[in-house]
Structure 1
Amino acid sequence: MPHTTFFNRHALHLKPDPARVIVRPFKPATEPRDLNPTDKTRANHIVDRVLALGTDAAAAQLMDVLDNFQGRHRDLLAIFEARADDMEDALTNHADFSRIQRQLVGAYFLHEYSFEAAALFNPSIVAHPDQGGVALGATRFILSLRAVGEGHVSSLTFRSGTIRADGGIEVDPAARLAAVPRITSRTQGPEGDDVDVIFRKEDDLSERVIFPITESQSNGIEDARFVEFDDNGRRIYYATYTAYRGTAIRSELIETTDFVSFRMTPLRGSAARNKGMALFPRRIDGRYAMIGRQDNENLYLMTSDDLHVWDGGQAILRPQHPWEFVQIGNCGSPIELDEGWLMFTHGVGPVRKYSIGAVLLDKADPSKVIARSSEPLVRPEPSEREGYVPNVVYTCGAMRHKDLIILPYAVSDTYSKLATINIAALLQTLQAP
């Protein structure tokens, strides 16, 4: 069946915007002479220079900073004071500070970071927890996206939008401002830190940026696969993601009910040492179920009584067709249909070309493959081949809307698009394995 009969690319492009910035701590490099514990550190030298300014000069300098950066961030003075609080080690060796001096010191130990300057890609999509005021037959949604900035550091950001009753899609404009959350608790564990964070509820969803917080995430929070999980009638949003620290990866879990407060927790077990895990939207036979890749080649089904511990697994999908001979992986959490579990997959073929296919798993026993794509559903079009990583289309999760699948996908690890797929027509294209 020609793809044009059931696959519709929408004229929506979510592209990275280097003008969207957050403020991050600036930590001056240690100079050789600073290694002597009896000497002042470079941070102390900067503080000395600020204190050497007269009262009027310090006030004028702070006003100049505010004039220069006001409008780019909310509550700059509060941000400066919070950073000064973090700098107590550098401040204790000095005389008392005026409030202006303290705010100015905080400003010297911050820098702007353009968190999506390089890429905005690998999206997933879920229904918004707030459907109030939505037109009849429409659904408000949340897109999660992987944003990449200087140094190829990945963070998690969001967009909202609406699927109209007729299947049309609208994505809300991104807010001009952006901010990182406040850490409300941090607990050390054997596999890393559990961290709770919260944003200001009044801020727009698109302003919220979850930047790496823990050591395991220090080089990136990558490829979050969000799913709306039915926990015996209680709705929880979970996402598995890859925590990258520059030399190692691990799978971690993020949890939220409102996309205002989030908990981030390392996953434990042998399977958590890999990436690309995706949680089923409900328990199966009383157990949590997950799809993941454990050998960089095949897809495995795993089950567990503990959401945070994943071991073992059963290989259920292996590369079978030329477009997936290099490896096969999941493209987000399975979607429950009457016919079974619909799961999108990615396959890697010649010249490391990434394409997207689909698989139908048995609803009662998802280790059984009912049907799968013999040809890709989505492959890089001529206009989609160029980018940071050429020849790649990729998604981290789709959602159902009536008789359609809403599929956001990334183009060449650079920007994101959206498509709709007719479910009945899609299922007709799948073939027995």
Structure 2
Amino acid sequence: MREAVTPHAPFFNRQALHLRPDPSRVVVRPFRPAVEPRDLNPVDKTRANHIVDRVLALGEDETLELLAATLRNFDDRHRNLPAIFERRAAEMEDALASHAAFSKAQRQLVGAYFLHEYSFEAAALFNPSIVLHPDQSGLAEDCGRFILSLRAVGEGHISSLTFRSGVLAADGTVFIDPPERLAGTPEVTARLGDHLELTFDPDSDIAERVIFPVTDMQANGIEDARFVAFRDEGRTTYYATYTAYSGRGIRSELLETSDFLSFRMAPLKGVAARNKGMALFPRKIGGRYAMIARHDNESLHLITSDTLYDWGLGEVIMKPKYPWEFVQIGNCGSPIELDEGWLLFTHGVGPVRHYSIGAVLLDKQDPSRVIARSREPLVQPEIAERQGYVPNVVYSCGGMKVGERILLPYAISDAFSTFATIKTARLLELLKD
């Protein structure tokens, strides 16, 4: 079957599949009366205690009736809501220490008063990244099951991380599993400063899981996660570099998981970590970790390190060269290992802040050496798709290879996401022309 083409993306087969934001999907978030929006931790204890006093003044029957009515109103929108109420009440212990012992119903009702629903993807669902799913059982040859991460944006332009799963079929068709109606955030099971461990309900589907900002540095967003399946000594660990945005400053951080159920978060250190857009290679190079970064705001750098958490300046390997990238270039996710070298998708910014996607092939043994590079954009905003939250943008946080194809998810106008495929051999021919 011959792959279709479009005028502005002549080498890619674009899928007729769009992932758009759904405002009906909500999570519950802490409600903190009279607290500055950017402050994630303190609570107005005086006002909080007034609310608790009013709850405790209710009779036993009134308490039970109000709790039952609250559960009827919201229970079909969340998984295990009583446990969420209990957990929120536990987080309020410092503010509520002056009160007498609570009954179970009072405790849950107090927790409910300090929560609110948040439509986490009401505004946008974009900047996707993709890795092969840990479970590839039951698939035909040249098919691949994947996990897709997406940046979700809701009220106040707060970014969080959400997931989907799907399959790339042997004929190049992409199928996305329908997202679950429910969604939820993980429990913080360990915390040491900005180093955290997050654990989701084991009964939840991956599409239910939402990683929402949990530290002051992340207060306004967890942005543009670039996932990679990292192989080391026969073991695969999934890492994602992402940008933590406080509303005042940014920092690169690292997310780690082996099962997409429990996650560890930690800040990155070093000069490169002060900027955004870091992408980890899927294995060590010459015994060292390797990263593609852009800490000068316009060029791509190769950085190596003995540790995953400290990254220096590295060396420049690519500068803006063609008109579609004169303003700046950046990576579109982690390099993909091929027999011929490291395939790296890039983005370039041209006139009127017009974003396009290209690609480069790096030497397998020495990734600082560019073997081939696209002269023209591979993907540009379609005329009919230039409108959106940020017009004239196409952007990806990572693709992957399945069989003889490359699958590239990408976002359009910072609003929604779609997919494109290309035969690996055809892409390599294009880069070498």
Of residues 50, 57, 60 in structure 2, which corresponds to 1:52?
A: 57
Distance in 2 (CA, whole Å) between partners of 1:388 and 1:119 is 8
1:173 equivalent to 2:178? Answer: yes
Provide, for residues 234-293 of structure 1, a one-character-per-residue CA deviation record: whole Å limited to 9, x for no partner. Answer: 111111000111111111111111111111111111111111000111111111111000
Structure-2 residue corresponding to 1:43: 48
Structure-2 residue corresponding to 1:125: 130
Structure-1 residue corresponding to 2:68: 63
Where does structure 1 lack aligned partners over 5 or more consecutive residues? 32-38
8 Å Cα contact 2:8-2:380 kept in structure 1: no
8 Å Cα contact 1:47-1:90 kept in structure 2: no
Distance in 2 (CA, whole Å) between partners of 1:53 and 1:320 is 70
Q: How does 1:5-24 map to 2 (within 5 A)?
A: 6-24=11-29
1:248 equivalent to 2:249? Answer: yes
Structure-2 residue corresponding to 1:259: 260
- One-letter amino acid matched to 2:233: N
3-state secondary structure, aligned to 1:71: helix
1:95 equivalent to 2:100? Answer: yes
1:111 equivalent to 2:152? Answer: no
Distance in 2 (CA, whole Å) between partners of 1:88 and 1:3 is 57
Distance in 2 (CA, whole Å) between partners of 1:415 and 1:324 is 23
Distance in 1 (CA, whole Å) between partners of 2:61 and 2:9 is 68
CA RMSD of aligned residues (A): 1.6
Structure-1 residue corresponding to 2:211: 210
Shift of 1:230: 1.0
3-state secondary structure, aligned to 1:11: coil
Shift of 1:6: 3.4
Where does structure 2 lack aligned partners over 5 or more consecutive residues? 37-43
Structure-2 residue corresponding to 1:337: 338
**Cα distance, 1:233–1:136 mapped onto 2, change above 3 Å:** same
Shift of 1:90: 3.1
Structure-2 residue corresponding to 1:36: none
Structure-1 residue corresponding to 2:39: none
Of residues 122, 146, 158 in structure 1, which corresponds to 2:163?
A: 158
1:430 equivalent to 2:431? Answer: yes
Distance in 2 (CA, whole Å) between partners of 1:268 and 1:422 is 38
Shift of 1:30: 5.6
Aligned length: 421
Provide, for residues 53-84 of structure 1, a one-character-per-residue CA deviation record: whole Å limited to 9, x for no partner. Answer: 22222221111111111100011111111111
Structure-2 residue corresponding to 1:141: 146
3-state secondary structure, aligned to 2:49: helix
Shift of 1:415: 0.5
Provide, for residues 151-183 of structure 1, a one-character-per-residue CA deviation record: whole Å limited to 9, x for no partner. Answer: 111111100001112221101000000011111
Taking only the aligned residue pairs, the percentage that are identical comes to 69
**Cα distance, 1:271–1:4 mapped onto 2, change above 3 Å:** closer
8 Å Cα contact 1:148-1:155 kept in structure 2: yes
**Cα distance, 1:328–1:237 mapped onto 2, change above 3 Å:** same
- One-letter amino acid matched to 1:355: S
3-state secondary structure, aligned to 2:76: coil
8 Å Cα contact 1:360-1:370 kept in structure 2: yes
3-state secondary structure, aligned to 1:14: coil
- One-letter amino acid matched to 2:154: G
User: Could you tell me the TM-score, scaled by structure 1's length?
Assistant: 0.94
8 Å Cα contact 1:156-1:222 kept in structure 2: yes
Distance in 2 (CA, whole Å) between partners of 1:136 and 1:398 is 20
8 Å Cα contact 1:30-1:42 kept in structure 2: no
Structure-1 residue corresponding to 2:80: 75
Provide, for residues 372-416 of structure 1, a one-character-per-residue CA deviation record: whole Å limited to 9, x for no partner. Answer: 111100000012201100000000000001121100000100100
Q: How does 1:386-401 map to 2 (within 5 A)?
A: 386-401=387-402
- One-letter amino acid matched to 2:110: V
